[in-house]
Structure 1
């Protein structure tokens, strides 16, 4: 299989910088070359500051893909699944390029970000810049451990990386990004046992409730799905908290070998079942952005830069 970009299956870091760009010109040949140069930037900083555990991801928005690489299209490339039910929604926001930079040093993330922006200008505008950080022992700002359901070991490559069923794009990954903003004032009004009921797991020691003990609206119940063959529907999360003293939330990133698992999970969160149950966590957090991207293999990015 072609080499996947390092940041897709990288282990958690202490810091992240998430950059979303819109492309403002039609010089696709320059953009192809510059994206390959961004890979070189990641490699340079990884070698120069090896103790910082640098990794990165370059992902191309599904709409922009057709302009940038019109002759080669990933088999399941699809736009972000815009959904709305009552006051629960998953909006779509601008994004032609998404670049994730992660390291165990905030200054290294910043330094890489500066060079990425200098390299990509004047072809792009920066739509959004978000800085993520590790919170306590890997918790979301709600106080619960985040990413507990992530696949472990080599299994995460099976979950996150496209295989030989799509040979031109083996080593790639379908990326979905949402920035959630938490209503922390409302959340903190809940007693701990009520928060645990919403999440479907204990807060202090991160123990998941038995299936028959979970509320039908619990976050872990609405997001832990099975396919028609009884297999778990999985994604690899590369999410991190973000915020300051005024705004707090989760920058959610899904990496998968197909866009279907993310779409299925999102639908099950937003739309209520016949008994009216949806993901109760959505009463306390709202998605403010949404984008669908594809992160091709290292080989693909480098080959396309010279063709």
Structure 2
């Protein structure tokens, strides 16, 4: 049985670092050899700092996959859709590698990132390094609980991980959409709590869905509830904060590429049953979007030997 990357379905942590890397020309063979070493590196640190709950994810960009692994490609692994609704631009960018390190100790994450970058010295260049953190009791800068509608327990694995019956080679892997969004906090705070709850579709304190009579057809929650089971995804989100901007770093995981596309189209108001774009998007600007596939550890290890 394929060994999936534990960071995909792991419980939330207090901190996370996101490394967006581009490979230098001609380094594919060395990268194939070194990518599975990341899980070994994280395992060693996890044993040494057991209280940190350290996990990680390695994902390969849709644009880079065939260069790195020319003999096999996940079904329907495509670039992030270049869609636009009104003035909302998704800003798709081709990124070769995404490495996520999560833990309850920021110092342990720092050690892990330093060792990972040392491992890949001379093979990649850092496009960006982003830092996320847990805010209050799992909320984002809207003040609302983040993703209270997320799949839980065993459903996570069904939603996020490729089934062996569908794609034996890529079983235990996951399709990934990455988005870095800035948030207009000043405009949001000019709204009353009732107006904010109408946009979100659920109660600000408890996270419980508003009664049907109160639900706006394009509320954030309504755009999710209107999806069918084939479009269910697992979301990992963390706020980020800098002096001049703040927002959210969001990872969407799914067992199929189609689920991610359906979810995105629904949120943008482009699907057949959509009533319009998610109202929450009016308060966000996408800084970067990218598509990846996070293969199983078993695939990474086997490919390093080929």
TM interval, short-chain normalised: over 0.9
Structure 2 match to 1:143: 143
Structure 2 match to 1:24: 24
Structure 2 match to 1:254: 252
Structure 2 match to 1:177: 178
1:114 equivalenced with 2:118 (yes/no): no
Contact between 2:63 and 2:94, CA under 8 Å: does it hold in 1?
no
Contact between 1:175 and 1:256, CA under 8 Å: does it hold in 2?
yes
CA shift digits 1:258-293 (9 cap, x unpaired): 122221121122236899732111110111100100
| Offset, 1:246 | 2.5
For structure 1, which runs of at least 5 residues remain unmatched after alignment? none
Moved more, 198-207 or 210-219: 210-219
Change in CA separation of 1:4 and 1:216 when aligned onto 2, cut-off 3 Å: same
Structure 1 match to 2:266: 268
Moved more, 183-192 or 276-285: 276-285
- Runs of at least 4 residues off by over 2 Å: 210-213, 223-227, 271-277
Matches within 5 A, 1:55-94: 55-94=55-94
Contact between 1:225 and 1:233, CA under 8 Å: does it hold in 2?
no
TM-score by length of 2: 0.95
Structure 2 match to 1:304: 303
Change in CA separation of 1:78 and 1:225 when aligned onto 2, cut-off 3 Å: farther
Change in CA separation of 1:275 and 1:126 when aligned onto 2, cut-off 3 Å: closer
Structure 1 match to 2:279: 280
Contact between 1:224 and 1:233, CA under 8 Å: does it hold in 2?
no
* Structure 1 Cα separation of the partners of residues 87 and 29 of structure 2: 43
Contact between 1:21 and 1:96, CA under 8 Å: does it hold in 2?
yes
Contact between 2:232 and 2:263, CA under 8 Å: does it hold in 1?
no
CA shift digits 1:185-218 (9 cap, x unpaired): 1111111110111100111121111334310120
1:39 equivalenced with 2:39 (yes/no): yes
Moved more, 86-95 or 107-116: 86-95
Structure 2 match to 1:54: 54
TM-score by length of 1: 0.95
Change in CA separation of 1:234 and 1:275 when aligned onto 2, cut-off 3 Å: closer
Contact between 1:132 and 1:240, CA under 8 Å: does it hold in 2?
yes
**How many residues of Structure 1 are paired with residues of Structure 2 in the alignment?**
304
Structure 2 match to 1:295: 294
SS in 1 for 2:239: strand
Change in CA separation of 1:259 and 1:210 when aligned onto 2, cut-off 3 Å: farther
For structure 2, which runs of at least 5 residues remain unmatched after alignment? none
Structure 1 match to 2:101: 101
1:244 equivalenced with 2:242 (yes/no): yes
